[in-house]
Amino acid sequence: MVRKALEGREFGSLEELQAFVTDHVRRQNEHPLDEFHGLSPEQMRSILYRPFASPEVAIIAEAPEDGATAPISRLFGLLAKAIGDQGLKPTATGNLPRAMCREVARSYWDEKTYQDRTRFGAINSEPDFFELHVARLTAGLAGLIRKYRGRFLLTRDARRMLGDNGLAAIYPRLFRTYVERCNWGYWDHYPDLPFIQHAFLFTLYLLARYGTVWRPHRFYEDAFLTAFPMLVSEVPPNDIIAPEQTLRSCYTWRALVHFAGFLGLAVVEPISDKLLCHDYRVKALPLLPKIVHFPMLT
């Protein structure tokens, strides 16, 4: 592009040439690209490398309304209630007690969901209720719960926040910890593809731009792969599944289901009631514009 811009031009000095090239590159970096769905390269750099410090691109709220409704917040609320003032004694493996996990599951799920989720095995340990397991680990990384003298306890910070504004005050801490410190790959058995997590704000941008109506999950896979086609080359070879399909499936589960869904920012639901459904539809939830605002979309 620079070579094409220089065709037919003459410059009186090297400095004049350098100034022209610098200005041309700057204008190109500020120009929206179709493959970035309306974002310029400069805006994309901010989304990827300064997600919490680029208010001209994205403003992430410190205390959004309705944060208490997110699955991760509801689970933390049930966990905090179970811990109470006396704390909880962990199992020999350091996990939450089985009886408590079962009690939380019945409170968190409706009866049909509980029966469906335990159809092939009861909840016998904390990892059997993986959403609670991830919520507990996230809360620990966020400094909201800790182990002290052989018991799970709420930290002083957590008690203060809950006392001041309830679960709505807890949500931003859980959100930032989940995107910055948790390993999204812990949920699944896909290859290590950390860029999917690194680009969390781009996923939210796509949901904010297109998520007002139901769209198939493949729409978001296509949008992500169009923006970052080079990621396919990072998928290890597999004799059965093509690298692109692995990347697509990994993106849907990590970015849409286990991030946007778990954080209450979108709903991802199967389009049939078959046991093994591979088609989903996605729609943004009201919490999304309350947790993050993209000025270029208004």
Task: Please give the helix or strand (H or E) that residue 266 lies within, else none.
Answer: strand 266-270
Q: In whole angstroms, what separates CA 205 from the centre of its chain?
A: 12
Which three-class secondary structure state does DSSP give residue 171? Answer: helix
Give domain limits for the chain.
1-29, 67-182, 189-297
Residue 59, both tokens: 């403003």
Tell me the mean pLDDT in the region 113-121.
91
What would the pLDDT profile of 170-184 be if each residue is shown by its tens digit?
999 999 999 999 999
For the stretch 274-297, pLDDT in tens is 656 678 999 999 999 999 999 999
* Residue 173 one-letter amino acid: R
Cα–Cα distance list, 263 to 31, 63, 256, 272 (Å): 32, 14, 10, 24
Residues 6+ apart with CB under 8 A from 252: 217, 220, 221, 268, 280
Question: pLDDT digit string (tens) for 50-98?
Answer: 999 999 999 999 877 788 999 999 999 999 999 999 999 999 999 999 9
For residue 254, pLDDT over 90 is answered with yes
Q: Which residues pair with 153 in a beta bridge?
A: 146
Own/partner pairs, 33-39, CB within 8 angstroms, 24+ separation: 35/226, 35/227, 36/227, 37/205, 37/206, 37/209, 37/223, 37/227, 38/209, 38/296, 39/202, 39/205, 39/296
pLDDT band at 129 (very low <50, low <70, confident <90, very high): very high
What angle separates helix 243-251 from helix 217-227, to the nearest 10 degrees?
A: 120
